[in-house]
C-alpha cells in the first residue's frame, strides 16, 4: 500500500539529547514537509523540501534540522537547542514541486522530553 510512515510512534528523550524522527513515503511525491502540533493547536511548518538535496526553513525552524538525501525519506532531527520540543510531529508529502493538490500526512510521532 502506498503511504507515509513515521517512526517511532512515541519517543521519549532526556533534556540535552538530540533525537531523529523518521519519515518515509512510497508515493513518489517530490515535496515533503514537517509540521509541529501543540495540544489544542493547529499545525505549524518546521521545514519543507521540494526536491532531493534541497530544503527550506518553515515558520519555526529554530532548533531543528533536516536532510533530504533520498526522494522517499525526510528525517527530522530535534536538537538540544530546541527549547520546548515536547509536541506531536507530523510529516506530509505532496505530488509536485509546487505542492500539487493535497498533502498526505503520516500517523505522527509524539515526542516527550523528560
Cβ nearer to another protein, comparing 4 with 19: 4
Cβ nearer to another protein, comparing 81 with 107: 107
HSE, side-chain direction, 13 A CA sphere, residue 108: 11
Residues 19-78 that bind another protein (CB under 8 A): 31, 33, 40-45, 48, 50, 56, 58
105 binds another protein (CB under 8 A): yes
Residue ranges in contact with another protein by CB under 8 A: 31, 33, 40-45, 48, 50, 56, 58, 88, 90, 92, 94, 96-108, 110
Amino acid at each position: 500500500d502506498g503511504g507515509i510512515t513515521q517512526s517511532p510512534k512515541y519517543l521519549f528523550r532526556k533534556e540535552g539529547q538530540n533525537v531523529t524522527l523518521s519519515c518515509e513515503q512510497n508515493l513518489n511525491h517530490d515535496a515533503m514537509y514537517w509540521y509541529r502540533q501543540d495540544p489544542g493547536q493547529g499545525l505549524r511548518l518546521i521545514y519543507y523540501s521540494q526536491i532531493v538535496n534541497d530544503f527550506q526553513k518553515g515558520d519555526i525552524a529554530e532548533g531543528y534540522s533536516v536532510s533530504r538525501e533520498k526522494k522517499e525519506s525526510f528525517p527530522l532531527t530535534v536538537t538540544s537547542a530546541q527549547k520546548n520540543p515536547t509536541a506531536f510531529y507530523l510529516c506530509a508529502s505532496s505530488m509536485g514541486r509546487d505542492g500539487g493538490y493535497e498533502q498526505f500526512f503520516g500517523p505522527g510521532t509524539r515526542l516527550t522530553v523528560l
